[in-house]
Amino acid sequence: MKMEDMVIISVDDHIVEPGDVYSRHLTGEALETAPKLKVTDKGTTYWDYDGKKMASVGLNAVVGRPPEEYGMEPTSFEQLRPGCYDVHERIKDMNINGIAGSLCFPSHTGMDGGLFTMASDKKMALQHLKAYNNWHVDDWCGSYPGRFIPCGLLPCWDMDEVVVELKRLADKGCHAVSINDNPTVRGLPSIHNAYWEPLYKTAADVGTTLCLHIGNGHPSPHASMETPIEAWITTMPMAVAFGAADWLNLPALGRYPNLRIALSESGIGWIPYLMERADFSHGQHKAWTHSESIYKGEKPSERFRRHFLSCFIDDAFGLKNIDAIGEDNIAYECDYPHSDTLWPSVPERLWETIQHLTDEQKDKVTHLNAMRDFNFNPFEHHKKEDLTVAALRAKAKEQGVDVSVKSSGGAAPLAAGEEPRPITSGDIVGMFQKHAEAA
């Protein structure tokens, strides 16, 4: 296999939603009360919903900008590369990056749909959530069949409606949903509560994977406002380990052996130690913790391999230890358009880190594992040879895709003329406050 022969599916990317999401699928009172994209007199863009104003619509959507302009911006669509919000431009950016398929998480709704979960009018929120799902599945993903893995949101405040929406989404070909790894932060019962049993059963029945994206229930903490922000960025993927350990101890996994859990934007290098520690903790403490009632003779590491999928952007250490993680438990992620993305050079960087793998293992981590867990088969719509890195880049060349770095006029948190120093958590919090006040 050569680099140009790879078929790459990214299981973690993001959408900056355009303003017509709800008007395409709602009318009357439902549309009147739906989230609305607005612009301040200073040109910054924000979403207005249920009395809340959410600034920084392009949060960290910095792809294509000079690195010195990175930060928790942009704040207007003019600062964004069009592929962030325009599906036709996104496809072009995927082509030049050699990405055959992409699973895209939402932005303004919260990656777990928390905007709707916390809404005051749940009847309207349910209609808004379903409209978002319709837009995502039918308009965004449906514009290019076989190029996107649809990922829905669930009305987790109403379990009867959760079951209905899971089945409805599955009927539409959507076999991924994004939920909070720790729903107690949304005022909902913990994952161990019987409240969630219908979710687990239905997801297993219809073959839908539950995606737990970093930053929701167990966000990486800021040690202090003076802490350099790179400390936070460094630990972001590993923060999902707290949720992973919680879900690993979920009794429902024993009842539903085919239930799949995706740790989204998680990294993989930390997994071997977590599994080692989980096995040790279970063996050392099960006599008094009574955890045998959960595992029933199975090791935690064995349960992880049966149920969990993790993904990586750039994780040479994890790939060198693939045997300790499981070649069936790893998938690739691009993270477009966030600052971690390696666009448009994913194939080159990815190829460097998988040289030691067999061709079968390369296929698994680049696309086969993603296809299996998300019930996604791009080859039903496209010939495999048309989805290779070489073929997609050739298409992008025909399309004239421009990958030159362009300044958007945005800026990092330091004030003009201020001496360079490490950006801190306080700087980023200040940026958020500034944009919130502007909205």
pLDDT at 410 (0 to 100): 67
Domain count within the chain: 1
pLDDT digits (tens, 9 = 90+) for 157-195: 999 999 999 999 999 999 999 999 999 999 999 999 999
Tell me: pLDDT of 414 over 90.
Answer: no
The mean predicted confidence, pLDDT, of the chain is 94
C-alpha span between 428 and 92 (Å, rounded): 31
In this structure, what are the phi and psi dihedrals at residue 405, rounded to the nearest 5 degrees? -75, 130
Distance, C-alpha 229 to centroid of its chain: 21
Q: What is the dihedral of CA 292, 296, 300, 301, to 10 degrees?
A: 150
pLDDT of residue 74: 78
Mean of the pLDDT values across residues 31-47? 93
DSSP 153-204: ---TT-HHHHHHHHHHHHHTT--EEEE-S-GGGGT---TTSGGGHHHHHHHH
Spatial separation of the C-alpha atoms in residues 143 and 146, rounded to whole Å? 10
Query: What is the model's pLDDT at position 411?
Result: 65
CB distance 216 to 242 below 8 Å: no
Regarding beta strands 148-149 and 99-105, do their DSSP bridges make them parallel or antiparallel, or are they unpaired? parallel
Contact predicate 34/82, CB 8 Å: no
pLDDT in tens, 264-308: 999 999 999 999 999 999 999 999 999 999 999 999 999 999 999
**Quick check: 274 and 225 in contact, CB under 8 A?**
no
Q: pLDDT value at position 412?
A: 67
Q: Which amino acid is at 177?
A: V
Q: pLDDT tens for residues 12-21?
A: 999 999 999 9
Helix (H, G, I), strand (E, B) or coil at 415: coil
CB 87 within 8 A of CB 140: yes
Nearest to 94 by CA among 399, 376, 330, 340: 399
List of residues 6+ apart from 97 with CB closer than 8 A: 334, 336, 343, 344, 345, 346, 347, 392
Q: What is the pLDDT of residue 428?
A: 83
- The pLDDT value recorded for residue 220 is 80
Share of the chain above pLDDT 90, in %: 83
**Amino acid (one-letter) located at 351:** W
- The number of beta carbons lying within 10 Å of the beta carbon of residue 50 is 16
Going by pLDDT thresholds of 50, 70 and 90, the confidence category of residue 75 is: confident
109-120 pLDDT tens trace: 999 999 999 999
Please state the pTM of the whole predicted model. 0.96
- Give the pLDDT confidence score for residue 293 in this predicted structure: 95
First to last CA, the chain: 51
Decide if pLDDT at 58 tops 80. no
User: Could you tell me where the DSSP H helices lie in 252-358?
Assistant: 252-255, 271-289, 292-295, 300-307, 316-320, 322-325, 346-353
Q: How far apart, in whole angstroms, are the C-alpha atoms of residue 303 and residue 292?
A: 13
Of 342, 401, 338, nearest to 84 by C-alpha is 338
* 433 pLDDT above the threshold of 90: no
pLDDT tops 80 at residue 223: yes
Residue-level pLDDT at 96: 98
CATH number at residue 277: 3.20.20.140
Give the range of the structural domain holding residue 388, as residue numbers without chain letter. 3-438
Token code pair at residue 63: 């792809």
The mean pLDDT of 48-64, rounded to a whole number, is: 87
Distance CA 124, CA 38 (A): 20
